[in-house]
Structure 1
Amino acid sequence: MTEFKENSEEILSFIKEMEPLLNYDFEGSHLVKNIEHYFKRRFNLGNSVLVTSASMAFYTAILSLNIKEKSEVILPVNICQSMVNCVILLGFIPVFADIDDDLCMDIGDLFNKVSPSTSIIVFVHPFGFPLELNSTIAQCKKLGIYTIEDCAQAPGALIKGNYVGNQGDFSIFSFGQNKPISAGGGGILSSKNNELIQKARVIAREGAQNYPNFISVGLNLSVNEIHALYIYFILKSFDEKLILKDKRIERYKKYFTGKLNYVGDYIDATTGSKSIFHKMILKLPDTMTEEECVKFNKIVSANTIHNFNIIQTALTNPPFKVKFVNQYLEMNNRSELAYLPDSCFPGWRKNLNRYLYLSTHDLVNDKSIDIVSTFILSKLSSS
């Protein structure tokens, strides 16, 4: 309480200073509009809409595309479960494509999963790695399939000089916990198709074009002004955060270069491609059996518990493992998509326990990097 009293005048002064930005109309506060415009300019994107989360950005994008009933949406098998939930809540069918050794969607398996019912394909730029999608997306367009880029873990990543999020019909970004732009929640939906983004804006603003002109069923996905203020200042410091993230990556590399391979350097000055390394992903030696990898993961996890904010071991179970998803697919007479054996996803199965995921977010410091890296190498040399 004492601390609040000491800072209360400063806080009130700050709020008063920002008050002009908080003036509100039906399409949002001036601050919200500034965030949308800033995001568009900073990452050279199309028009953007600020909403309450990346999941709701995805939900809104699907609604905006107005796809036919019982359409199929293809997603990588290691995608966040919340994305699958959105597909199910809207009554569509989630279909999963395998991943490759870079933990990105296997494009060959993707097109094996395409059917006449496929309406949307979701491409993820995982762990900060940028994907070159132009030829793949061109093929999707020929098939009449919409594409959505999930850039939640990769804002600022470059592919051939262009920021991720500029290739699909829609792109989504996250301000969620421990994301590269972490502001405790919130998300951005972006598109260079003005008609699509306008539909999305109407849906996200309760279905109204201009109050009280309601032109469709909509949602109230507006971010409140106090949260928007926080997002605004986090965005303003993003370039500095990227510099610090690069320094953490370089510190990891001093420990592991020449000792363990890591997934995707993705820094190529000649082509202008660069990963932002949301996670530093180490690959355990091919000489280790799957059983040895599982054992190693358990040892590392058990002995680095005091650094829980830095390390994650093993891929999470893919969404089709979730009981409800299987029940949903059966209910829709698509049991052939449910209860799939691991052999149907050899890439996922192969990579399940072969990687260690080391964080680069703001809570990671030099000391925690040193402790975890030294421990991993010591156990590796004794295994």
Structure 2
Amino acid sequence: MTRPIAISLSPNAEKDDVTLALKILFSPRRWFDIRQTEKLEDEFAALFGSSYKAFAVNSGRSALYLILKIIGINDGDEVALQALTCVAVPNSILWLKGRPLYIDVDNSFNMDPKDLNEKISERTKAIIVQHTFGIPADMEKILKIAEKRKIPVIEDCALSLGGKYGNKLLGTLGDISFFSFGRDKVISSVFGGMIICKNKKLYMELLRERDKLDYPSLFWVIQQLLHPILFGIILPLYNLGYGKLTIGKILLYISQRLGLLSKAVFPQEELGQKPKVFPTKLPGALSVLALTQLRKLDKFNNHRKEIANIYFQKLKSPNYKLQNKNKGIIWIRFPVIEDKAKKIYEYAKGKGILLGDWYKQVVVPVKNLQLVGYDFGSCPKAEKLAGNILNLPTYPNLNKKDAMTIVQLIKSCRNL
């Protein structure tokens, strides 16, 4: 029995992570141990240099929410963000009664500086810069615009931990930055987030606000610990069975129905609503998982780059629109602009291979774009790209043979 190729099903968890989660599950004294979180914060901050401070919360959207709250976002304040993003980003603005100002994208799937410059105004109180797929945004141009208008820049590094812009680590270019440790992010503790900054006054304000927060519930912590454990059982059995009826899929369905597994995005969030669990503190249990993964960061990102090189070599053809190579890109996923993206995605799924579908629409996942303040037609480039970006996996458990299987599948699907 082998693991399926599945871009979103606990892709980072290795055997030692599963074993560790099992040990912590039976060590309840560690579940809310603040010392575990402090150890994670110290090692995380050290990645960026001695002038940086870091503190953890239970998710990336909790981190962004706290940042926006501390810089004073409230009724009607505009916050610039790019189209092609996760619903967690505009929701964090809306939960504070702010107004998302959507900026179109450039050829790197990131914020277009020209469109940013044209759309921002005196009502714009912050700019959130995302590094999509681990590809750095055009920070030089964006920072010049922000400096001229005196608007703070928040770096969204949820997809880019360890990436670089020139010789600078992503997360060190803006005024403040946040990261995510979600299940399919660069490193994973199932849920988790981190804020870094070097402004001491801002850090103390954020720290005081964080320390007022409660911890998530005991059940929520157990849910997250069960995630790598259950997927350690589910994944080897995922394609074992007949057709769509496999042992792994049945176990996954039962686990979700019983509430043993949480979803990456809550149903309320798809409606623009705020679940009670955000924001809360990061429990010690998840801090232990995150720290173990953090110590594998270089290994993980080097692996992603090796897999990306296979795609570059084997998909070098006028049929496929690929990004330019850049040593600063970590390739959390490898994006291919493909008119047949949906067809290839469904074809692969029928073969038991789960590719990625970031971004099916300009904000994902959401029931209605109006719920997150998006006006159709405001970002035409992003709208054209939405649904036409095939995400190829690069995750740590994917081997080179798997990557070649994906390449052959894509080529064969185009010939159908």
TM-score of the superposition, structure 1-length normalised?
0.77
Distance 2:20 2:291 in 1: 16
SS of 1:243's equivalent in the other structure is helix
Distance 1:321 1:178 in 2: 15
Is 2:394 the partner of 1:369?
A: no
Match of 2:324? 264
Distance 1:206 1:91, change over 3 A: same
Q: Which amino acid aligns with 1:277?
A: W
Q: Which amino acid aligns with 2:96?
A: L
Distance 1:33 1:306, change over 3 A: farther
Shift of 1:47: 0.9
Is 2:393 the partner of 1:359?
A: yes
Match of 1:242? 301
Work out the number of aligned pairs and report it.
Answer: 331
Q: Which has the higher contact order (CA 8 A, sep 6+)?
A: 2
Distance 1:310 1:207, change over 3 A: closer
Match of 1:85? 91
Residues 229-265 of structure 1 deviation map (CA, whole Å, 9 limit, x = unaligned): 1111111121221222222222223311245341231
Q: Which amino acid aligns with 1:351?
A: L
SS of 1:196's equivalent in the other structure is helix
Distance 1:93 1:257, change over 3 A: same
Distance 1:353 1:88, change over 3 A: closer
Distance 2:382 2:314 in 1: 27
Q: Please show how residues 163-242 of structure 1 align to structure 2 within 5 Å.
A: 163-206=169-212, 221-242=280-301
Shift of 1:350: 2.9
Larger deviation, residues 306-315 vs 41-50: 306-315
Is 2:34 the partner of 1:29?
A: yes
Q: Which amino acid aligns with 1:38?
A: E
Distance 1:277 1:220, change over 3 A: closer
Q: Please show how residues 47-126 of structure 1 align to structure 2 within 5 Å.
A: 47-67=53-73, 69-126=75-132
Distance 2:183 2:351 in 1: 17
Gaps of 5+ in 2: 1-15, 215-277
Cα RMSD of the aligned pairs, angstroms, is 3.1
TM-score of the superposition, structure 2-length normalised?
0.72
Distance 1:160 1:314, change over 3 A: closer
Gaps of 5+ in 1: 1-6, 209-218, 268-273, 285-292, 330-337
Distance 1:251 1:328 in 2: 37
Distance 1:185 1:50 in 2: 11
Larger deviation, residues 113-122 vs 313-322: 313-322
Q: Which amino acid aligns with 2:361?
A: N
Residues 334-366 of structure 1 deviation map (CA, whole Å, 9 limit, x = unaligned): xxxx5x333x32211332344321121134233
Larger deviation, residues 317-326 vs 235-244: 317-326
Q: Which amino acid aligns with 1:319?
A: V
Distance 1:223 1:119 in 2: 28
Is 2:413 the partner of 1:379?
A: yes
Q: 2:330 aligns with which of 234, 253, 276?
A: 276
Match of 1:252? 311
1:23–1:30 CA contact under 8 A, matched in 2: no
Is 2:361 the partner of 1:317?
A: yes
Shift of 1:171: 0.5
Distance 1:178 1:321 in 2: 15
Match of 1:43? 48
Q: Which amino acid aligns with 2:34?
A: S
Q: Which amino acid aligns with 2:47?
A: R
1:310–1:360 CA contact under 8 A, matched in 2: no
Q: Please show how residues 339-350 of structure 1 align to structure 2 within 5 Å.
A: 340-342=375-377, 344-350=378-384
Q: Which amino acid aligns with 2:106?
A: D
Distance 1:127 1:104 in 2: 9
Q: Which amino acid aligns with 1:297?
A: A
Distance 2:300 2:365 in 1: 36
Residues 167-221 of structure 1 deviation map (CA, whole Å, 9 limit, x = unaligned): 111111111011111221101111121111211111111179xxxxxxxxxx973
Shift of 1:318: 2.0
